Amino acid sequence: MNTNPKHFLTLSDLTAEQIIALIDRAIELKTQRKNHQPHPTLEGKILAMIFEKASTRTRISFEAGIIQLGGQALFIASKDSQMGRGEPIFDTAKVISSMVDLVMMRTYSHQTITEFAENSTVPVINGLTEEHHPCQLLADLMTIKENFPNLENLKITWIGDGNNMCNSTIELAHILGLELAIYTPEGYQPQSKHLPKSNKIKLCNNLEEAIKDSHIVSTDVWASMGDEQQAKQRQKAFAHCQVNQKNMQLADKNAIFLHCLPAHRGEEVTAEVIDGTQSRVWQQAENRLHAQKALMEHLLN
């Protein structure tokens, strides 16, 4: 029994060097898959996937990923388990981790996953909480590296909500020393605990300033899972936060557009941009598979 497993709850659980090595491995795994080369590096391993909320990409990329590595996945909707009837997280963590090799969780509160991890004897991966979405940022970085291989002198722009995706984007930029410009409506900025003191990461007063000469423009929905009640009020507050062709023209001529998906065309992004030539959202979504396979190998090997 491992009493001190490695977890991946936020990007800070990895160093810059580990992140880059993991992305290089993900690119290698992607090539192996395209060439139909088997790569069963986690033969016989079992991944438990616990979901408090909906998912398409996270569930399928983890499930397909562990199968491609020679293991198997168990899907657990927490509401259909005893967790949904109030069994304490620490009891659940002790029991589930005694039976599987690895756990991935998507929870509302970030506290839930940290409590699970503290009581788990196997590695725990954050598949999204209200505060972080680190797996998505591994796929984002892989996509950035495929488009800008040396990762040098890049400006990233975040437009929209100061949400889980924004927090993880800040964390990645900070770890790798990348420039990040953030534009959010008044009242929706990332919490100060997620904003490191850094002259490379700044909150901008207008969208044009944030997007100017940027190489990577990223956004997300205006109302995340759990914010549905505020959808109407957010539509008003975020109306000026749309990534469209006009403001994409202020970015670098080789700029790419990223979105973790699902997207709402006509809200945070126009169809012209997300379905246009600068969009890399399908590459980004596919990269969830490869990046998380590299992550699972890292945690288990």
Q: How far from chain centre, in Å, is Cα 189? A: 18
Marked catalytic residue, from 101, 140, 161, 220: 220
d(CA 258, CA 279): 6
Q: Is 260 a catalytic residue?
A: yes
On whether the CB atoms of residues 156 and 174 are closer than 8 A, the answer is no
Is the peptide bond preceding residue 196 cis, with omega within 30 degrees of 0?
no
> How many CB atoms lie under 10 A from the CB of residue 73?
21
Let me know: does 182 contact 190? Beta carbons within 8 Å. yes
**Nearer residue to ligand CP within complex by CB, 57 or 194:** 57
Element (H, E) at 268: none
Min dist CB 162 to ligand NVA, Å, is: 11
Separation of alpha carbons 226 and 223, rounded Å: 8
| DSSP tag of 67 | H
- 36-55: which residues touch ligand NVA (CB under 6 A)? none
Sole binder of ligand CP in the list 12, 15, 31, 56 (CB under 6 A):
56
Of 101, 174, 260, 290, catalytic: 260
Q: Is 55 a binder of ligand CP (CB under 6 A)?
A: yes
Annotated catalytic residue, options 136, 242, 284, 292: 136
Distance CA 53, CA 76 (A): 11
* CB of residue 200 to ligand CP, shortest distance in Å: 25
Per CB under 6 A, does 296 bind ligand CP? no
Residue 221 site contact among ligand CP, ligand NVA, none (CB < 5 to 8 Å, cut-off depends on kind): ligand NVA
Is residue 164 within the footprint of ligand NVA (CB under 6 A)? yes
Q: How far apart are CA 80 and CA 9, in angstroms?
A: 24
Q: Shortest distance, CB of residue 17 to ligand CP, whole angstroms?
A: 26
Determine the size of the site formed for ligand CP (CB under 6 A): 8
Residue 59 among the catalytic residues = no
**Binding to ligand NVA, residues 112-151 (CB under 6 A):** 128
Specify whether 161 is catalytic.
Answer: no
Beta bridge partners of 181: 157, 202
Residues contacting residue 271 through CB under 8 Å, at least 6 positions apart = 265
- 133 catalytically annotated: yes
Tell me which residue has tokens 């198997």.
72
Task: Enter the tokens of residue 154.
Answer: 């890049």
Q: How far is the CB of 163 from ligand NVA (least distance, A)?
A: 5
Q: Is 220 in the site for ligand NVA (CB under 6 A)?
A: yes
Q: Could you say which of ligand CP, ligand NVA, none residue 165 binds, taking C-beta under 5 to 8 angstroms by partner kind?
A: ligand NVA
Q: State which amino acid sits at residue 132.
A: H
Q: Give the residues lining the site for ligand CP (CB under 6 A).
A: 55-58, 128, 136, 260-261
Q: Give the residues lining the site for ligand NVA (CB under 6 A).
A: 128, 163-165, 220-221, 224-225, 260
| Catalytic machinery residues | 106, 133, 136, 220, 260, 288
